[in-house]
């Protein structure tokens, strides 16, 4: 099958590149999956530190160790997940199964005890969570084609961030009355909504060849490169992988560390609500950022936008040290909406640019996501160890320095991937 710019669907396509029904369904899927795809996220740190606490052997270092173990398991799963999505003929069904596994692993936390069991449940969630990014990217590319991909990814990210903002706001309000356990109930409800929505995506409208960036299907004897081979043979892609590693090494532990700091200063119930406020502030910022980036990437290019993302990430790490006032921390966290908002909107776009018509889109996504996941996994342990030994200020400044290193590398080594119009 020759690679085309549009999926083989008979319905009329709208300005987003898909049928109007499929466009709205993809919007809804990104919205509902927002709070499911990352599992408990920062709420895990609050629950283990504030609810279990030192009496059960939990502190910032042990929490960081669990997050690191789950992160390493997740990153090992990234390339196999990309390969699975490449080969899957029913990608929406894979999303449904993954959502169920993540949720079952997360909501089991109140009834399991001990470091080992908690690490296992979060590792299972990490394995299943590795599926979401390549699956959503592949479904999107298979529905809209390469020409409209950047614009549609921006829209995906906008709905994803809107979903995060709404779910975090609900968690924050309900936590005042019901406590941190409310996040488990909320996650279960959103999982049901995600599964129902994924079942409504027309699998027949997804062009599987386009979805994997291949010129033909595997049945036609296409070359099947490994993810790491695709990465090593493409120098710009390898540089991008290193910068993604540094971005997440700096970024992943920031919100977790803020949530832990809040639990120390204001207590677990207020910490849950304030962490939710942190998430809402960032996610609300990410919605317009994702839309603007998606619409203007072809004109502005990817490199200037990524430099802005790194600059705001470094500034955020430094500003956390100015004050421990809860609302100052919430305000600084809003800057995540710019840095992470740009990164999320451009990550699959840059990889698509660097692997155009090579047949390596999803395997390359998996390889770069592995590097990114390694950074996120090490971030928790790095920050946790520094916080325990030298305090929160030293931890945040270390993360800011890492972001500065990523900024320098991207500026000096990473090429532009777009021909500006």
- Report the CATH number that the domain containing residue 157 is assigned in CATH: 1.20.1250.20
- For the entire predicted model, the pTM comes to 0.74
Q: How many domains does one find in the chain?
A: 1
- Has residue 217 been placed in a domain? no
CA 85 – CA 103 distance, rounded (Å): 20
Q: What is the mean pLDDT of the chain?
A: 82
Phi and psi (nearest 5°) for 265?
Answer: -100, -30
Range of the domain at 176: 20-206+224-413
- Has residue 50 been placed in a domain? yes
Q: Are 64 and 380 in contact (CB under 8 A)?
A: yes
Residue 58 is predicted with a pLDDT of: 72
- Has residue 348 been placed in a domain? yes
Residue 420 is predicted with a pLDDT of: 52
Higher pLDDT, 196 or 214: 196
- Has residue 4 been placed in a domain? no
- Has residue 15 been placed in a domain? no
Q: What is the pLDDT of residues 182-203, one digit of tens each?
A: 777 788 888 899 999 999 998 9
- Has residue 10 been placed in a domain? no
Q: What is the pLDDT of residues 273-306, one digit of tens each?
A: 787 778 778 878 888 998 899 888 888 999 999 9
- Has residue 195 been placed in a domain? yes
Residue 7 is predicted with a pLDDT of: 40
- For residue 32, pLDDT beyond 60: yes
Q: Are 106 and 56 in contact (CB under 8 A)?
A: no
Q: Are 135 and 91 in contact (CB under 8 A)?
A: yes
Collect all residues with Cβ–Cβ distance below 8 Å to 87 and sequence separation of at least 6. 218
DSSP conformation letters of 98-151: HHHHHHHHHHTGGG--SHHHHHHHHHHHHHHHTTHHHHHHHHHHHHH-STTHHH
CA distances from 342 to 7, 287, 370 (A): 27, 10, 19
């Amino acid at each position: 099958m020759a690679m085309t710019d549009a999926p083989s669907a008979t319905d009329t396509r709208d300005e987003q590149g898909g049928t109007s029904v499929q466009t709205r369904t993809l919007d809804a899927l990104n919205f509902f999956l927002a709070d499911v795809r990352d599992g408990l996220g920062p709420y895990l740190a609050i629950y283990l530190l504030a609810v279990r606490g030192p009496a059960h052997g939990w502190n910032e270092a042990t929490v960081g160790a669990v997050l690191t173990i789950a992160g390493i398991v997740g990153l090992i799963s990234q390339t196999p997940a990309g390969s699975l999505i490449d080969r899957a003929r029913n990608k929406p069904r894979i999303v449904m199964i993954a959502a169920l596994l993540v949720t079952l692993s997360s909501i089991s936390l109140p009834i399991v005890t001990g470091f080992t069991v908690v690490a296992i449940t979060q590792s299972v969630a990490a394995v299943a969570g590795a599926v979401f990014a390549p699956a959503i990217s592949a479904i999107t590319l298979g529905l809209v084609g390469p020409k409209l991909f950047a614009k549609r990814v921006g829209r995906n990210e906008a709905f994803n961030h809107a979903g995060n903002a709404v779910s975090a706001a609900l968690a924050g309000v309900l936590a005042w009355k019901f406590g941190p356990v409310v996040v488990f109930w909320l996650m279960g409800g959103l999982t049901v909504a995600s599964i129902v929505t994924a079942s409504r995506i027309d699998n027949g409208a997804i062009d599987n060849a386009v979805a994997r960036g291949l010129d033909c299907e595997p049945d036609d004897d296409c070359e099947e490169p490994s993810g790491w081979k695709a990465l090593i043979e493409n120098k710009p892609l390898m540089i991008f992988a290193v910068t993604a590693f540094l971005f997440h090494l700096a970024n992943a532990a920031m919100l977790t560390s803020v949530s832990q700091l809040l639990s120390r200063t204001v207590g677990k119930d207020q910490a849950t609500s304030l962490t939710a406020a942190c998430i809402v502030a960032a996610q609300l910022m990410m919605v317009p950022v994702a839309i603007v980036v998606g619409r203007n990437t072809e004109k502005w290019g990817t490199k200037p936008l990524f430099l802005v993302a790194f600059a705001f990430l470094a500034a955020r790490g430094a500003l956390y040290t100015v004050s421990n006032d809860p609302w100052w921390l919430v305000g600084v966290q809003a800057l995540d909406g710019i840095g992470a908002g740009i990164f999320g909107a451009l990550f699959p776009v840059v990889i698509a640019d660097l692997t155009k018509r090579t047949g390596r889109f999803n395997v390359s996504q998996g390889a770069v996501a592995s590097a990114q996941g390694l950074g996120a996994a090490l971030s928790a342990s790095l920050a946790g160890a520094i916080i325990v030994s030298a305090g929160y200020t030293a931890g945040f400044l270390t993360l800011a320095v890492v972001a500065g290193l990523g900024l320098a590398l991207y500026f000096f080594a990473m090429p532009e991937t777009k021909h500006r119009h």
